Amino acid sequence: MGTRTVLQHPDITRALTRIAHEILEANHGASDLVLLGIPTRGAVLAERLDRVLADIEPEWAADRDQRLGTLDVTMHRDDLGHGIGRAPHRTTIPTSGIDGKVVVLVDDVLYSGRTVRAALDALQGIGRPRAVRLAVLVDRGHRELPIRADHVGKNLPTAADERVTLRLTETDGTDEVVIEQHETTQHETTRHEPPQHEQGVAP
C-alpha cells in the first residue's frame, strides 16, 4: 500500500480561507448565511470556516452563534441496509433556524455524492432553506450522482482504487490529506480481476 501526502496544514488553511471568501462573494455578504457541517470532519471544517468568516466579515462576527450547526445524515444514507454500521451524530440547528436562509453544507471529501444526497434528504425534515450550497475541502471525482460542489478547496484527480483520507488536528492530531494506493499483487494480476470499488473518507 503506497501512501503520499498531498495537503498539509498550511495548504488546508489556505484552502479554507479561499472558500470563506468565495462563500461571501457568491452571497454578496453574510446576510442570511448559515453553515451546517456534516460530521465528523465536515463539522470540524465548518467550525474552522466559522472562525475565518468571523475574522473577515463583521456581520458574521456579530451573530456567529446563530449561524453554525451540524447535520447528521446517518439515517438518510442508502447503505444502511448493506451491513455498514454507522453511529449517529447529533444534529444542531443554528438558533436562527434555516427557513429562508442560504445553507452552506460543509463536508470533507466529495466522492460518489451519496453523502450529500443524504444531507439534502435530512434538510427536508428540519426546514426549508432559500438555497443550498456545498463546500468541500477535496473533490476527488468519480461521482455516482449528479452533484457538484460550489466551493472546492482542492480538486484531486484520483483512481477508483485509491483512498483519500483527511486527518484534522481536532480529531486525529494532525492536519493532512493523504492518498493511499492499492498495490496489485502478482496473484491479482494473474487472475485479471478488476480493482474493487473503494470508498473515500466521505462518499
CA dist., res. 135 & res. 153, Å (int): 8
Could you tell me the pTM of the whole model?
Answer: 0.85
Who contacts 14 (Cβ-Cβ below 8 Å, separation ≥6)? none
Grid look-up 450547526 returns 69
By the 8 A CB rule, do 26 and 102 touch? no
**pLDDT over 60 (residue 184):** no
As a whole number of angstroms, the distance between CA 65 and CA 25 comes to 21
Q: What is the C-alpha to C-alpha distance for residues 96 and 92, in angstroms, rounded to an integer?
A: 11
DSSP 3-state assignment of 88? coil
Residue with grid cell 444534529, as numbered in its chain: 91
Span 80-97, average pLDDT: 71
Mean pLDDT (whole number) for 152-172:
95
**Least reliable range by pLDDT among 28-37, 54-63, 104-113, 174-183:** 174-183
pLDDT reading at 83 higher than 90 = no
Return the residue matching grid coordinates 492536519.
Answer: 175
Q: Per-residue pLDDT averaged across 113-139, rounded?
A: 95
